[in-house]
Structure 1
Amino acid sequence: MPYKIVVLDGIYANPGDLSWEALETYGNLTVYNRTSPEQVMDRAMDADILIVNKVELRKPLLDNFPHLKMIVISATGMNNVDLEAAKALGVVVKNVVGYGAQSVAQHTFALILELTNRVSAHNDSVQKGEWDADKGFSYNTSPVTGLDGKTLGIYGFGSIGQEVASIGRAFGMRIMVVSNHAVPADYPFYEFVNLRELFEQSDLISLHAPLRDDNKHVVNSALLSHMKPDARLINTARGPLVHEEDLKSWLIAHPMAGAALDVLETEPPGPQYILFGLPNCIITPHMAWTAKSARKKLMDEVTLLVKTFVS
């Protein structure tokens, strides 16, 4: 009897420019773009294999899926699935890692360059007609910061952190790293330091560590107090790494500093989000991983995981 494969929130990996049809080789496939918490029970009840991105699967739900044999998380983070409950029920849980390293690194530098070159602000100025004769052939609405010779601090040195370091070095930046697993001798061009040293010495700090129990709100007022008054913080990792109220206070107190965030503690943030309206804070909608090439890799890996399981 063929497996019943159900994708519960497929729109994130495939908003319409790719296809899930490769999974049809391995079972009867049903794809839902989005599934609300109230819809999960009905849609997942008879599934043998569930594919989820951010849909939460906790023990009370898992206990009611008698046919479930496998969960594939079409993402790297696994905190939306009760792993202990799944293991107790004999349900295999797999995730996908490494698919978005280049895409996230690219977006990281898009944010860095927006902070340093203010391309959007200069375009807005020109479009408003502010490039007039009094300004001559060239003008700035805000200073441009060159990256050559600046120090880029990287917190977390997996595949994404390494890609960011490589790009930073190509810009002529000094690279400092905080890592729990890297062997410094393997990376002679980078300096390995502790977290306080990273925040004290870096001109730009980019977060690439996974979220763990011991590093939630690791970027807080105590750590921010060690940053240079014109330093910039970039977060394309996980929103809860940053204590957002502390960051807001720091940004207000340091108008020459800046932050660029692709991830927030609550997503979506709602209309009264604490960091809205700050002129030195840029926010994008958790999109760093969404390059089509990255999503294609993600979907190919999901298919491979299913193929390996059913074969």
Structure 2
Amino acid sequence: MNIIILDDYQDAVRKLPCAAKLEGQNFKVFTNTVKGLGQLAVRLRDAEIIIPIRERTLFNRQLLEKLPRLRLIAQTGRVGPHIDVDTCTRLGIAVAEGVSSPQAPAELTWALIMAAMRRLPQYINNLKHGAWQQSGLKAGSMPPNFGLGSRLSGKMLGIWGYGKVGKIVAGYGKAFGMDVRIWASQEGRDRARADGLAVFSTAAKTCSNTATCCRCICAWAIAPAIW
């Protein structure tokens, strides 16, 4: 059985307990991504099973039709729009999706918000170069007038998407004393209201922090104004 594990940037799969199940199988791990259709077709042409890591490769009709041996795409996490399921069905390629925990992306989202508001990357970099506190503000890596970080308590946190990840991030925001607001689908907004959260009437434009927590994305952004 030819198995390809695709786009494993961190080479993590081989270190997981589940990798033992692949012993005795002909499997290969790719830790980088190629984008061209021709390159992908060559890389995957002998694959009978492909295990994509996240949504890093597009399995469209053009690619799938060039993979005659492919019988199964076993997606890590949820199956998203990067896989042409209709074409897979037509070609007899089974598509399976895994399960995932919302805890890790929620924690990463919160770590990024904390790092941005407290300006940790800049100060950590200065500390590595011997700069500390006031001397750090004069370092070349610091933008002009780059002062202290900001606290989260009392500020507004806008969450775009209210699924499993968004709900956890909302809990973090409440624990830090933030004014949590939600923008999501109608169903998501209804769930947020049922959980006692405020809902935006339109998409957020005035938040101190906007955390995007939807099916395939867990990203963050800091608005230029602090409210």
Decide: shared fold, TM above 0.5: yes
Deviation at 1:121, TM superposition (A): 3.4
Deviation at 1:171, TM superposition (A): 0.6
Given that residues 152 and 205 in structure 1 are in contact (C-alpha distance below 8 angstroms), is that contact kept between their aligned partners in structure 2? Answer: yes
**Distance in 2 separating the partners of 1:124 and 1:65:** 47
- In the other structure, the counterpart of 2:161 is 156
Highest RCO, 1 vs 2 (Cα 8 Å, sep ≥ 6): 1
1:18, 1:56 → 2: CA distance? 25
- 1:195 aligned counterpart, secondary structure: coil
Q: Which consecutive residues of structure 1, in runs of 5 or more, have no partner in the other structure?
A: 133-139, 212-234, 258-311
Deviations, residues 196-242 of structure 1 (Å, cap 9, x unaligned): 3x334x3322112347xxxxxxxxxxxxxxxxxxxxxxx8449xxx9
Aligned match of 1:60 in 36, 48, 62? 62
Structure 2: gaps (5+ residues): 136-144
**Gap change, CA 1:117 and 1:10, over 3 Å in 2:** closer
Instruction: Please name the residue that 2:214 is paired with.
Output: 209
Task: Indicate which of 195, 205, 216 corresponds to 1:199.
Answer: 205
| Deviation (angstroms), 1:125 | 5.3
Partner of 1:45: 45
Quote how far apart the aligned CAs of 1:49 are: 1.3
Check whether the contact 1:147–1:171 (CA below 8 A) recurs between aligned residues: yes
Q: 1:154 to 1:115 in 2, by over 3 A?
A: same
Q: Give, in whole Å, the separation in 2 of the partners of 1:34 and 1:119.
A: 29
Instruction: Give secondary structure in 2 for the equivalent of 1:85.
Output: helix
Q: Residue 150 of structure 1 aligns to which amino acid in structure 2?
A: K
Partner Cα separation in structure 2 for residue 185 and residue 169 of structure 1: 15
Query: Is this contact kept in 2: 1:13–1:74, CA < 8 A?
Result: no
Residue 34 of structure 1: aligned partner: 32
Q: How many angstroms does 1:78 deviate by?
A: 2.6
| Cα offset, 1:187, TM superposition | 0.5
For 2:123 and 2:23, locate their aligned partners in 1 and report how far apart those are by CA, in whole Å. Answer: 51
CA-CA distance at 1:177 after TM superposition = 0.9
Q: Is the 8 A contact 2:77 2:100 kept in 1?
A: no
The corresponding residue for 1:172 is 177
SS at match of 1:51: strand
Q: Which residue of 2 aligns with 1:69?
A: 71
CA distance in 2 between partners of 1:87 and 1:56 (Å): 16
Distance 1:50 1:92 in 2: 11
Distance change >3 Å, CA 106–CA 65, structure 1 → 2: same
Q: How many residues are matched?
A: 208
Whether contact under 8 Å (2:72, 2:93) holds in the other structure is yes
Q: Which amino acid aligns with 1:128?
A: A
For residues 179 and 25 of structure 1, the distance between their equivalents in structure 2, rounded to whole angstroms, comes to 44
SS of residue paired to 1:61: helix
Counterparts in 2 of 1:216-235, with a 5 A limit?
Answer: none
Instruction: Deviation per CA, 1:38-89: give whole Å up to 9, x if none.
Output: 4433343333211123233222332233332211223546333222211211
Q: TM-score, normalised by structure 1?
A: 0.55
Distance of aligned partners of 1:59 and 1:129 in 2 relative to their CA distance in 1, 3 Å threshold = closer
The CA distance in 1 between the partners of 2:33 and 2:18, in whole Å, is: 17
Cα gap change, 1:72 to 1:128, in 2 (>3 Å):
same
Give the structure-2-normalised TM-score: 0.72
Alpha-carbon distance, 1:9 to partner: 2.6
Conserved 8 A contact 2:109-2:219 = no
Alpha carbons 1:118, 1:142 under 8 Å: kept = no
Identity in percent: 24
Distance apart, 1:161 and its partner CA: 0.8
Q: Superposition pairs for residues 134-149 of structure 1, below 5 Å?
A: 142-149=147-154
Q: Deviations over 1:98-130 (max 9, x none)?
A: 43x222222222222223222333445563366
Question: Per-residue deviation at 1:16?
Answer: 6.3
Distance change (3 Å), C-alpha of 1:16 and 1:207: same
Note closer, same or farther for the CA distance 1:64–1:117 as it changes in structure 2 (3 Å cut).
closer
Query: 1:125·1:131 contact (CA, 8 Å) conserved in 2?
Result: no
- Name 1:11's counterpart in structure 2: 9
